[in-house]
Amino acid sequence: MSPATSHPSDQVAATVLVVDDDEVMRDLLSRMLGRAGYAVETAADGRKALERFHEHAIDAVVTDMSMPKMDGLELTRALLTERPELPIIAVTGVDESYLRVAIAAGAKAGMRKPIRAGELAQTMRRLLPQRA
């Protein structure tokens, strides 16, 4: 009997939490990440995102910046307080200054909507190289 060997395809996919109050955008980002080989959890606002973060093993977060209840900046700060190394991609369709503020708060990348699938996958591979 030969010992079990690990193949790249045997690795468990990294789990990405997608947070956006726009259901269409949330679904689109989820499909993009799913096609790129990631497992995906979703939340419609920052408060729900914190719940999902505590319920699941989350490897990275993609968050919209402008949301009700708890915006992306508040979410970024809360998540990084708990896990300072957590890769977070800030996303906005409004004003690029949101991205600069998010990166200053610790987000690892910023993307302006509309987001292209290839660009999102490439950014995620850069942030989670061992899991891609």
The string of pLDDT tens digits covering residues 19-76 is 999 999 999 999 999 999 999 999 999 999 999 999 999 999 999 999 999 999 999 9
Q: Examine residue 8 and state whether it is found in any structural domain, yes or no.
A: no
The three-state secondary structure class of 12 is coil
pLDDT, tens digit, for every residue of 63-119? 999 999 999 999 999 999 999 999 999 999 888 888 999 999 999 999 999 999 999
> Is pLDDT larger for residue 10 or for residue 87?
87
Give the CATH number, domain containing residue 70.
3.40.50.2300
Q: How many CA atoms lie within 13 A of 74 on its CB side?
A: 12
Q: Examine residue 2 and state whether it is found in any structural domain, yes or no.
A: no
Q: Do residues 20 and 35 touch, judged by C-beta distance below 8 A?
A: no
Q: How many CA atoms lie within 13 A of 75 on its CB side?
A: 33
Q: Examine residue 3 and state whether it is found in any structural domain, yes or no.
A: no
Cis check: omega of the bond before 68, within 30 degrees of 0: no
Does the predicted model carry a pTM greater than 0.85?
A: yes
Q: Examine residue 4 and state whether it is found in any structural domain, yes or no.
A: no
Q: Do residues 92 and 66 touch, judged by C-beta distance below 8 A?
A: yes
Q: What's the total number of domains in the chain?
A: 1
Q: Do residues 10 and 131 touch, judged by C-beta distance below 8 A?
A: no
Q: What pLDDT score was predicted for residue 13? A: 87
Domain coverage including residue 114 = 13-127
